A and B are shown apart, each in its own frame.
Chain A
Amino acid sequence: METHTDVICPFCGTLCDDIEVQVEGGRIMDVLNACKLGTAKFMSMNKKHRPLKPRVRGENGFEETTVEDAVERVARMLVEAKKPLLYGWSTTECEAHSVGIELAEEVGGVIDSHSSVCHGPSVIAIQDVGYPSVTLGEVKNRADLDIYWGSNPMHAHPRHMSRYSRYPRGYFRERGQADRTVVVIDVRKTDTASIADKFLQVEPGGDYELANAFRAALNGVELPDEVAGVPKKDILQTLDIMKEAQFGILFFGVGLTMSPGKHRNIDCAIKLVADLNRYTKFSIMAMRGHYNVTGFSEVLTWQSGFPFGVDYTRGRPWYNPGETTSIDLLTRGEVDACLVIGADPGGNFPRRAVEHFARIPTATLEPHETPTTYLSDVVIPTAIAGIEVEGTAYRMDAVPLQVRRFMDPPEGVYPDREILKMILDKVREIKNGA
């Protein structure tokens, strides 16, 4: 039995890097340190029904084919399209992103990631008002106040609190939990709320009002008796906790980002945090979901200047959320082909977007069977980054790590980056008249 230590979990944005995996004869025997979600991802390698052959939609459903044939079909689809969409990217490594962006440029398409449907509004808010943030180790060593707003790490990022916020001992927080206060703001009493020192239950859709109330009170405005279902007394008390903390951090999730108000909620939360810096050290951080959704923003930004929704149809990068983002493009029927990598739009996009997706030529690079693969015309199974492929991933605080390879991919199954490179080469060949 081989034991692999310091394995990085390719599941959520927490990117835990202390996992131990025991492998014997190509099977994962045990996973130590990981949470339920991470363990499930590692253990899923043992499932027997993994598709290994590329398949294309024929008259009688899917037919198996060779990688070369599948690659050529995808390349032709992209070359023939006027405005193809290349979507996904959050569950693959940065090396694949890099090839993907070059491919989008080459075919004059739009490239977009999950940001478009999760923390895109957070990014828009950051572009509006900034982002006073820190790395997670700063939180571990210094924070005496952790606020989770619209975020339920107990379920979505199960080790976040034990590694970085509520529980660990840090340099200036030697007593760990005893040195820290946790406040949760949410629309319901979540499991995270149940272990918080203070819980504020905000009315659904009331986040913007509540964030504004904090900010107004901080700047000396008299509050009404109740704001968004939270009594004035609680707001002022929480505000005092914030002002008196030595080092505070506000973690926010899609509960704040995707509830009514969207980027305006985040605008307000960020400004609140910036204002709090007049009193003490205060920071804010988005609880990014997929393990490498941050990485894609980073790579796309340094290569094109913009973080998601970049349109290359005019040969120059063009970024305009609402115009160049996936759901808008699909629901308006503006794209005429779609390549999906490491994502499942068929499973979680709105119906009208999926309907258009089903109408146009589509291809998916994906190790598993998902609703998206069933809707696609070409499916190419790929190797799994972080298990069968090494590569770079960025944690939610943009700390870059190299995820490890500790198993071999099945024969004939290639990493995303290699398939994408084959597609890119083929595209160039076709464009050059071959």
Chain B
Amino acid sequence: MELEIKNGTVYDPLNKVDGERMDILIRDGRIVEKLKGKADETIDARGRIVMPGGIEIHSHFAGGKETAGRLFRPEDGARTTYRRLDGMRAGSGYSMPSSFTVGYLYAQMGYTMANTPAMPPLFARHTHEELCDVPILDKAAYPTYDGNWFVMRYLKEGDPGKLAACTAWFLKATKGLVVKLVNPGGTENWGWGRNAVSIDEPVIGFDVTPAEIVKGLAEANERLGLPHSIHLHPNNLGKPGNFETTLQTLELTRNVPVKNGRQSMYLTHAQFHSFGGDSWKSFESRADEVAKYINGCDHVVCDTGNVTLDETTTMTSDGPMEYFLHNLTHLKWMNKDVELETAPGITPFIYSRKNPVHSVQWAIGLELALLIEDPFKVLLATDHPNGGPFTRYPRIIAWLMSEPYRRYYIEERVHEAVQKQSSLATLDREYTFHDVAVVTRAGQARALGLSEHKGHLGVGAHADVAIYDLNPSEIDPSRDYKAVEKAFSATAYTVKDGEVVVRDGKVVASPQGRTYWANPIVDHELEREMEKDIEQYFKKYYSVNLANYPVQKSYLERGRELKIDARDVK
């Protein structure tokens, strides 16, 4: 199968291509220099934007709590339903679309990979079953380590070798890609209805602190040489004044050595961690402080966690935070503590334009994107569905590209608190298409350590391409922001592994994507020693047998194992 995309205006930041007219050639699912024969299909991309397929780095779209969130909100399902169409499955859900629909919606926006970022290891089998029902996209899942009893035990015992070995073991057992931490220590304390409100607060019964967990796992992560850094949701999410905790947390990994030159800390949904003030009354944005810190260092990459002012379903592995939110709104509340591992929670949330706090949150997400100078350090995400559904990305792109669009919102749509409690109204930076390509694909690929095949259009890359019906030489995104929003909502074409999957905004094929997972191979002796502890804990404390715990490879329909040689870890 050969495909040729002719005369498009190409934005490919990883190959330093910024709006050049180029042809993209594809053979057998890869980008190639030359075709062998005549192309099976030629796409005329003249006057259109061509980008690598979008990559979602943080979106809660599949897994145990995601399905629990759908289950307990039939009102969200009934709000938007999707008809069964030729070759396309039916579905439902506004803030939490059902699995097949997730794949279609992302592909329609030009995304070809999406990662689900908080998988309790015990529920990993569920996540993978569900990922198989998300068509088109390549996928990966991030197992959570924040309250992992083995991690805390080895930290307390001061055994970095076994810590690294058990970090590797859980990736292998859960078929996960990334070490994820959610409110480290806080989720274990939530087992007793408590939380961890500073990075030095001890974890009940384990005698370690959140700071030690973050630092220890960051070191283990780098010793194993994993593709991505630790992926962190720090303590105190969503609390006024939390930016100080955030800055203290970021500082923890400043000196952690990294082999491959990428960040040592990925701060996710930074918006929720950039709050100032000491109460909801004195609430204000401190995006400036967080941005200043990130501008001044080179060990942190973050994503925005934009609020889109929608009714949504919040779901995190941060159980105490969801309870806190439930007490704020008195809406229904779901909790799902997971033995020896973590503590997810879910509650609906209605962001209102008329609410000063929600409006300032909206501003913070945009401020971060505009204040952090290097777009490779601040990627676009809504922490779907927590800040808003991922289907709002086109609107966020339009906000970022157009100062007048933001001004319209500030002056006409949102609460006036935005003008006093945030600096958004003073920012006139506007994203270029090149910046957009960075914050929606190139930056993600680089931060994830997957940029060999993903997030670019160089020879050898996977042939994942998005073509948007927008002519950069004719359009002024600052003025025509509605056209930008429309174009990014539905591609002219989305190509996945060389196959056209979306044409004129309509899904025309739904192949199964890959599921990436990391398998760091550690020293055999070390692994055996560590496994003895695991066996003992399984016998005594887990409610399932060790033999029934690891996810069988058969659960990954198209698994892609990333083998990593970590035998030098002692």
Contacts and interface: CB of A to CB of B under 8 A. Distances in A.
Interface of A: 5-6, 8, 17-18, 94, 98, 102, 105, 123, 126-138, 140-142, 163-164, 169-172, 246-247, 274, 277, 280-281, 283, 297-299, 301-307, 312, 315-319, 392, 394, 398-402
A102 B99 CA distance: 13
Nearest to B94: A305
A122 to B, nearest CB: 11
B191 A398 contact: no
A394 B67 CA distance: 13
Max count, chain B CB within 10 A of own CB: residue among A277, A302, A402:
A302
Given A130-B347, A315-B90, A394 B126 contact: yes
A315 B125 CA distance: 30
A141 B71 contact: no
A303 B91 contact: yes
Given A127-B332, A140-B541, A315-B83, 20 more contacts: A17-B545, A102-B89, A123-B71, A134-B335, A135-B122, A138-B191, A163-B543, A169-B540, A171-B541, A172-B205, A297-B71, A299-B129, A302-B62, A303-B100, A304-B90, A304-B91, A312-B84, A398-B123, A398-B336, A399-B544
B94 to A, nearest CB: 10
B98 A304 contact: yes
Max count, chain A CB within 10 A of own CB: residue among B62, B67, B205:
B67
23 contacts: A127-B71, A127-B74, A128-B332, A131-B334, A133-B334, A135-B543, A137-B542, A140-B339, A171-B541, A281-B192, A283-B337, A297-B71, A302-B130, A303-B133, A304-B90, A305-B70, A315-B83, A316-B81, A316-B83, A317-B77, A317-B81, A392-B129, A400-B123
Contacts of B143: none
Contact of B334 (A132, A163, A170, A302): A132
A340 B320 CA distance: 42
A402 B548 contact: yes
B541 A170 contact: yes
A44 B252 CA distance: 60
Contact of B125 (A136, A274, A306, A392): A392
B125 A401 contact: yes
Interface in B335-351: 335-340, 346-347
Interface size class of B (residues with CB under 8 A): 35 or more
Contacts of B552: 402
Interface in B71-99: 71-74, 76-78, 81-84, 89-93, 96-99
A274 B83 contact: no
B544 A401 contact: yes
A136 B337 CA distance: 9
A183 B122 CA distance: 29
B543 A140 contact: yes
Nearest to A307: B71
A298 B99 CA distance: 12
A305 B335 contact: no
Nearest to B347: A130
Nearest to A312: B90
A317 B122 contact: no
B335 A171 contact: no
A47 to B, nearest CB: 28
B92 A302 contact: no
Contacts of A400: 123, 125-126, 129
A135 B122 CA distance: 10
A401 B92 contact: no
